[in-house]
Structure formats: C-alpha cells, structure tokens
Chain A
Amino acid sequence: EAGVTQFPSHSVIEKGQTVTLRCDPISGHDNLYWYRRVMGKEIKFLLHFVKESKQDESGMPNNRFLAERTGGTYSTLKVQPAELEDSGVYFCASSQAVGAVGNTIYFGEGSWLTVV
C-alpha cells in the first residue's frame, strides 16, 4: 500500500513567485494534515482537513497560504506570493481516525521549499 506522497520533493523559487505543493494521503484516510519545519525551528502544525472540510486551520501563518482538498482526496497548499521566511520543509500527513490515541498519523517525506 502506498504511503503519503508529496510533490514536488524540492522546489526553489524566487521571492514573490507562487508555489503549489501537492499531497496524496493514504487511500481511505479522511484526515489530512499539513505541518512545516522552518530552519532551526520545530515542526509546526498548519491545518487539518477532515475529508474536504477544514477542521482546524489555526496554524496557517497568514493569508498568503491557501490549502484546499477538493473532493476529499488529495490536497494542495499554495503559497502566493512566497517570502524568504517561507523556506522550509512542508510535511503532509494522514490518518484514519482523529486523535493521537490508538491512531497512527503517517507522514510523507516532505516538500523542501527554498525561496531566494
């Protein structure tokens, strides 16, 4: 069974440009999460989808970030316009159930974003 897949694995863009990251969760997982790790910091929560609905988007840093999950399958995270401080690794994760107890959250390999 395929794990969580993310695309692209690496992206280098100029400040002011737009980047769209894609995540394909494990088949059948209604819960999809976006996290990111910027240089020197801990992995931080961005948002949580349950199917196509945003359950919790309190971690989104500002309105330059837009996450969608049309049809409740794959998700995209668009950064527009990108700023230097957006550089980091963006992780997508998915799980069958909600909550950490008795529930495994599976992470993708991450999308490395460098804004120059």
Chain B
Amino acid sequence: TQLLEQSPQFLSIQEGENLTVYCNSSSVFSSLQWYRQEPGEGPVLLVTVVTGGEVKKLKRLTFQFGDARKDSSLHITAAQPGDTGLYLCAGATSGSRLTFGEGTQLTVNP
C-alpha cells in the first residue's frame, strides 16, 4: 500500500511569514500533484511535477519534486490570508489513480 505522509498537519502563521509543507513517501511516483481545498468545495489542482528534482513556481508558491520522486515540498513566500486553506499532495503511479496525503490545514492570520 502506497502512503503519502504530509507534515505539518496544521499550520497557523502570521501574514508575511514563509512556510514549507512536506510530502514524503517510501514509494516512487510517476508524478505528484498539489491541490488546494477550501471549505465546502472539492480539491483544486495547483500544479503537477513530473521529473525528479523539478521545481515549479506559481506566483509566491514554489513546488519541488525530490530527485528520487518519492517526496515533494510546497513553499509559500510572504503568506497572505487568502492562502488559507487545506493543501493536499497526491501521487500518481499508473493510470489516473491518485494517492493522497492527509493534508495540511494552513491558516494565515492578518
């Protein structure tokens, strides 16, 4: 059974601070996705990383895929209250079946 461990589970920070969320597994994934979910809504795709060592940036968000394609990180610079939400990592192997982490609930206080 493939597992993705996300940490931290909860994170509460002040506006302007930086943060990093980690996603780790003992399994190799062909790609890894990061989603953001807000209350009452479904997960929304932020980014897909495919190549080991790949780094992608989305405004203040930086996503990295580990060299061995077993882990990933999401770094947010100068967090804003609008960044508040549940961040989920999800690994893909064959087909479209995704293995999700438990998520990181981020709260950015003004």
Contacts and interface: CB of A to CB of B under 8 A. Distances in A.
A109 B42 contact: yes
Given A45-B98, A48-B96, A101 B43 contact: no
A95 interface: yes
In this complex, the member of B4, B42, B97, B102 whose beta carbon has the largest number of chain A beta carbons within 10 angstroms is B42
User: How large, as a class, is the contact surface on chain A?
Assistant: 20 to 34
The A interface is mostly helix, strand or loop, or mixed, namely: loop
Interface residues of B, number: 25
A99 interface: yes
Interface of B: 4, 30-31, 33, 35, 40-45, 48, 50, 88, 90, 92, 95-103
17 contacts: A4-B42, A35-B100, A43-B43, A43-B88, A45-B99, A48-B97, A56-B95, A98-B95, A99-B95, A100-B31, A100-B48, A100-B92, A100-B96, A103-B96, A104-B45, A105-B98, A109-B42
Given A42-B101, A45-B98, 20 more contacts: A31-B96, A41-B102, A43-B88, A44-B100, A55-B95, A91-B43, A98-B96, A99-B92, A100-B31, A100-B98, A103-B96, A104-B45, A105-B45, A105-B96, A106-B45, A107-B35, A108-B42, A109-B41, A109-B42, A110-B41
